[in-house]
Amino acid sequence: MHIHILGICGTFMGSLAVLAKELGHTVTGCDANVYPPMSTQLEAQGIQLTQGYDPEQFEPAPDLVVIGNALSRGNPAVEYVLNKGLPYVSGPQWLAEHVLQGRWVLAVAGTHGKTTTSSMLAWVLEHAGMSPGFLIGGVPHNFGISARLGDTPFFVIEADEYDSAFFDKRSKFVHYHPRTAILNNLEFDHADIFPDLAAIERQFHHLVRTIPSEGLVIYPQAEAALQRVIEMGCWTPLATTGEGAQWQAKLLSDDGSRFEVWFAGALHGVVDWSLTGQHNVANALVCLAAARHVGVVPELGIAGLSGFKNVKRRMDKVAEVAGVTIYDDFAHHPTAIATTLDGLRKNIGAAQLIAIIEPRSNSMKLGAHRDGLPESVLQADQVFWYAPANLGWDLAATVASSTVPTQVCDSLEQIIAGVKALAAPGTQVVVMSNGGFGGLHGKLAEALR
């Protein structure tokens, strides 16, 4: 079958393309913006990419069109599909029908940490010899690919609450029917489709309703929003993480790179890994709880975590030039920005820390999180904010109250010049964006050379 994917370079759709190809289908696709790591992964898989949405790409007509949730009515490719009566489906529905049916699905949901935690879980199961399938919204370094079918019943999926398609406004994760579900945390996000936090909580409860009574729901018990979700009704056993919960961590280093794992009042071992940050310690606990549900004893899970390498674009060290270290990070929500910078600060001590941030997500463009931005960067020594002309709100006025030295820039060249003037051997530079950021990482490294 020839499957053509609209919006193929999104992290979810690109991973879906890999699975379709592995199933033996001929897979092609198109997108408005083609950039790594997904574009390079798809090209390596031999998947033909078309830039843009010109209807000419439908000659000859594919057998099925999978339409990504970034596309809407008025898009020329969408209009062509509808006018010609070509068969089409959403990505989550295709995945549920052709990959997840009959599998033991382990789903990782939450506002933050989905990609990292699902990568951790897939790796822990791999380390335990369980050869899981997975679909992850990023490229885990342990695997080098974002998705695979696997050859056992187990399938790990990053479960997003974003809508499925322009014709299916349910959250993606409602399609997945997991047996093991991680609800990692819950804050307001996706302001382009949800009016408030309560609306997202209802979607999470739709997910909870689909989990069998022989399954497991795992969540940090201190998360008030998730507690409200559970109180709406839950027919599934619960496992809790965090202080005073069934699963607990005791830090052996301030930066979270070493910690004890306690379950049911007993010490099961020590995680000693390359990751930092309290958020990753929390991610590790829910991962271990999920792995135990499919038969991985905590000691084996802990050994797996100690060999875990993070995901591309999650505090990914991309260059070290003249003693200056440059990281690429996906953080685009104030909470994620704050926890990422806090973990790095505790790791590097008093070294100079420069943050470069592009407010690019749909929620950011709508200004939904802007009030949290000044406080999110307190661990940095200097912050460069990128304010493109089409942002739609006054970024400079928003961050003017920040106590951290701040520059708001309207070009990459201005950012590069500013960082170059400040950087010295030992400086740590974190570039934060959920997009390609115009290749800033490479340009900055070249300028520092």
Same domain, 250 and 117: yes
Show the tokens assigned to 324: 């200056």
CATH number at residue 71: 3.40.50.720
Highest mean pLDDT among 280-294, 369-383, 402-416, 421-435: 280-294
What's residue 342's pLDDT?
86
The half-sphere exposure of 260 on its side-chain side, counting CA atoms within 13 A, is 9
In total, how many domains does the chain have? 3
Whole-number Cα distances in Å, 9 to 41, 45, 48, 77, 356? 10, 13, 11, 15, 24
Residues 6 or more apart whose CB falls under 8 angstroms from that of 248 comprise 241, 242, 261, 262, 263, 285
Residue 292 within any structural domain of the chain: yes
In a domain, 113, yes or no: yes
pLDDT at position 340 is: 86
pLDDT at 94: 98
Q: Which of 148-152, 254-258, 445-449 has the lowest mean pLDDT?
A: 445-449
Q: Are residues 67 and 136 in the same domain?
A: no
**What distance lies between CA 248 and its chain's CA centroid?**
24
What pLDDT, on a 0 to 100 scale, did the predictor assign at position 100?
98
For residue 313, pLDDT beyond 80? no
Domain-embedded: residue 407: yes
How far apart CA 433 and CA 314 sit, in angstroms, is 10
Residue 220: name the closest of 189, 243, 236 by CA.
243
3-state class of 372 per DSSP? helix
- Does residue 177 share a domain with residue 54? no
Averaged pLDDT, 178-196: 85
Residues 328-334 have a mean pLDDT of: 81
- Average pLDDT of the residues in 240-264: 95
Q: Which domain holds residue 67?
A: 2-91
The whole-number pLDDT of residue 76 equals: 97
Last residue of a domain, one of 263, 280, 306: 306
Count CB-CB contacts under 10 A for residue 225.
18
Mean pLDDT of 95-107: 97
Token code pair at residue 199:
């609306």
Listed residue (38, 46, 45) closest to 138, CA to CA: 38
Report yes or no on 311 lying in a domain. Answer: no
Instruction: Give dist(CA 303, CA 275) in Å, integer.
Output: 14
Of 91, 110, 131, the last residue of a domain is: 91
Say which residue, 434 or 358, is predicted with more confidence.
Answer: 358
List strand residue ranges (DSSP E) for 257-352, in order. 258-263, 266-272, 316-321, 324-329
96 occurs within a structural domain: no
Q: Hey, which residues does 171 pair with through a beta bridge?
A: 163
Q: Do 332 and 259 share a structural domain?
A: no
Instruction: Please choose, from the candidates 332, 340, 311, the residue with its C-alpha nearest in 3D space to the C-alpha of residue 434.
Output: 332
| For residue 314, pLDDT beyond 80 | no
Residue 6 corresponds to which tokens in the numbers above?
């609209």
| Residue at 38 is within a domain | yes
Q: Which of 286, 306, 326 is the last residue of a domain?
A: 306
Mean pLDDT of 62-73: 96
289 and 324 share one domain:
no
pLDDT at 440: 87
Same domain for 259 and 388, yes or no, is no
Q: HEC states along 103-118? A: CEEEEEECCCCHHHHH
Can you count the helices (H) and strands (E) in the chain? 15, 23
- Rounded to 10°, the helix 440-448/412-422 angle is 40
Say yes or no to pLDDT of 261 above 90. Answer: yes
- If asked whether residues 135 and 162 sit together in one domain, one would say yes
Indicate whether 295 and 152 sit together in one domain.
yes
| Segment 195-245, tens digit of pLDDT | 888 999 999 999 999 999 999 999 999 999 999 999 999 999 999 999 999
CB count in 10 Å sphere of residue 151: 9
Is residue 238 domain-resident? yes
Q: What is the CATH number of the domain that holds 386?
A: 3.90.190.20
Spatial CA neighbour of 164 closest among 100, 66, 69, 75: 69
Sheet with strand 104-109: strands edge to edge? 147-148, 133-135, 154-158, 104-109, 180-183, 216-220, 238-241, 247-251, 258-263, 266-272
* Mean pLDDT within 437-441: 83
Do 158 and 285 lie in one domain? The reply is yes
DSSP-assigned letter for residue 161: -
Which residue has better confidence, 161 or 332? Answer: 161
Structure-token pair, residue 403 = 């106590």
What's the confidence (pLDDT) of residue 316?
A: 79
Classify residue 40: in a domain, yes or no: yes
pLDDT score of 329: 86
Q: Is 68 in the same domain as 125?
A: no
* Residues 116 and 48 grouped into a single domain: no
Contacts of the segment 260-266: beta carbons below 8 A, 24+ positions apart:
261/285, 261/288, 261/298, 261/302, 263/288, 263/292, 263/298
- Tens of pLDDT, residue by residue over 1-53, are 999 999 999 889 999 999 999 999 999 999 997 767 678 888 888 999 999 99
The percentage of the chain sitting over the pLDDT mark of 70, rounded to a whole number, equals: 97
Q: How confident is the model over 367-401, as pLDDT tens digits?
A: 667 788 888 899 999 999 998 877 778 888 888 88
Omega prior to 37 cis, within 30 of 0: yes
Determine the pLDDT at residue 362: 66
The predicted pLDDT at position 366 comes to 66
Q: What are phi and psi of 188, to 5 degrees?
A: -70, 130
What is the secondary structure of 25-90 as a DSSP string? Answer: -EEEEEES---TTHHHHHHHTT-EEEES--GGGGSSPPSEEEE-TT--TT-HHHHHHHHHT--EEE
Q: Domain check: are 108 and 250 in the same one?
A: yes
Contact 343, 417 (CB under 8 A): no
